[in-house]
Amino acid sequence: MLKNFWYGIEVSSAVKDRPVSVVLMGERIVLYRDSQGRIHALGDRCVHRGAALSAGWVEGNCIRCPYHGWTFDSRGECVDIPANPRGLPIPKRGRVTTYPVREKYGFVWLFWGDIAPAVAPPIPDFPQFMDPQLRCVYGQYTWQANFTRVMENTIDCSHTMFMHRKSLGNADDAIIPDYDMRIGEWEAEAVLPISIKRLVGLWRWISRKDAKTERVYRVCLPNITFIGLKFDHFYLDTFVISIPVSPTVTVSKWALMRNFLKFPFVDEQTRKVGVRLLSEDERAVKTQDPLVCPFLNNSTDLLQASDGTVIAYRRLLKKCHDLGWWQEASVPAPLDTPSNLTLTP
Ligand code: FES
Ligand SMILES: [Fe+2]
């Protein structure tokens, strides 16, 4: 994974009055809200004897460990050890790591790195979240796949006709016309036409044969991908944060925004379509070899012009690697178990 970036790690509404645990590449982190509703992020390991603080509870501006009641404030300092006689000072090592956190776009963002967050790349602008015409639905999906491969999949323009041939792909029209990439300092974007044959779910409502269509793919380091679909004046935008949990597990959380059919019953259908599409993708993404996309040296892949978004993403990864911002996962993980080991004769 990359360091020195803000990572979208949770949906804001998931952090209520109880602590929530998240894992970022094997690192356990607890999120909680204090009495003023401000969010805090601490290492999710009590310094006493290692219990998860996320199994405890919030008291005022502090979080209390459930095991022996040690209590930590939002700066990570231990402020109470109930079993110690009153007046005994708290040991110097009585503190846990804290992480800068903030909320934006209905998500919680955590800064992971060793430079000052103020000089790090900012959370990019997504004006869609300010548009009162868009109805926003949140959803999530857990992949048994590597984070970099998931990121690539969600901006891949040429797989729809194959991985999604049963849902929305048009296998008769697989050609991807040349397209331009807009490359920013920490992001890239491509705009293409849409070709869809089978219509499921929402598509049935909004797409007509002669509609003027456009799809936008945008990737922003470290973990945002965005797919914007336009059918005439209908918009369907998907903003995704993909969280590297381990080398082989990634959680994607999304906000799906639409400016049509804004009834609550459509929300559930929207969520189902999202999960279905990602589970179709996962069948291929979890088998990709090597595990991490080969962004330093593409010699194991044979990239084509249609892979332009993927090429741009890999260039951005390489740029960060050259800055010393790439962190190897400490645990190498195997690929998915081959099916010939699990099939019974
Ligand atoms: S392990 Fe947390 S108080 Fe003992
Ligand atoms: Fe897909």
Structure tokens at 121: 């790349």
- One domain, residues 144 and 239: yes
- One domain, residues 135 and 112: no
- One domain, residues 137 and 113: no
Tell me the per-residue pLDDT of 86-114, one tens digit each, with 9 for 90 and over: 999 999 999 999 999 999 999 999 999 99
| Tally of structural domains, the chain | 2
Query: Is 330 part of any domain?
Result: no
Listed in sequence order, the residues at least 6 apart from 232 whose beta carbon sits closer than 8 Å to its beta carbon are 208, 211, 212
Question: For residue 273, what are the domain limits?
Answer: 128-322
**For position 305, what pLDDT does the model report?**
95
Tell me the per-residue pLDDT of 270-313, one tens digit each, with 9 for 90 and over: 899 899 999 999 999 999 999 999 999 878 999 999 999 999 99
**For position 329, what pLDDT does the model report?**
75
Cβ–ligand 1 contact at 129 (below 6 Å): no
Domain end point (choices 68, 97, 118): 118
- What residues have a C-beta under 5 A from ligand 2, the ion? 281
Query: Is 340 part of any domain?
Result: no
- One domain, residues 81 and 132: no
Cβ–ligand 1 contact at 46 (below 6 Å): yes
Nearest ligand 1 atom to the CA of 50 is 1
Cβ–ligand 1 contact at 212 (below 6 Å): no
- Collect the ranges in the chain with pLDDT lower than 50: 332-335, 345
- One domain, residues 140 and 110: no
pTM: 0.93
Closest CA to 140 of 265, 59, 245, 41: 245
Query: Is 61 part of any domain?
Result: yes
Query: Is 338 part of any domain?
Result: no
> Buried (b) or exposed (e) across 85-99, using 16+ Cβ within 10 A?
eeeeeeeeebbbebb
Cβ–ligand 1 contact at 58 (below 6 Å): no
- One domain, residues 190 and 266: yes
- One domain, residues 271 and 142: yes
Tell me the per-residue pLDDT of 20-45, one tens digit each, with 9 for 90 and over: 999 999 899 999 999 999 999 999 99
**For position 299, what pLDDT does the model report?**
82
CATH number of the domain encompassing residue 18: 2.102.10.10
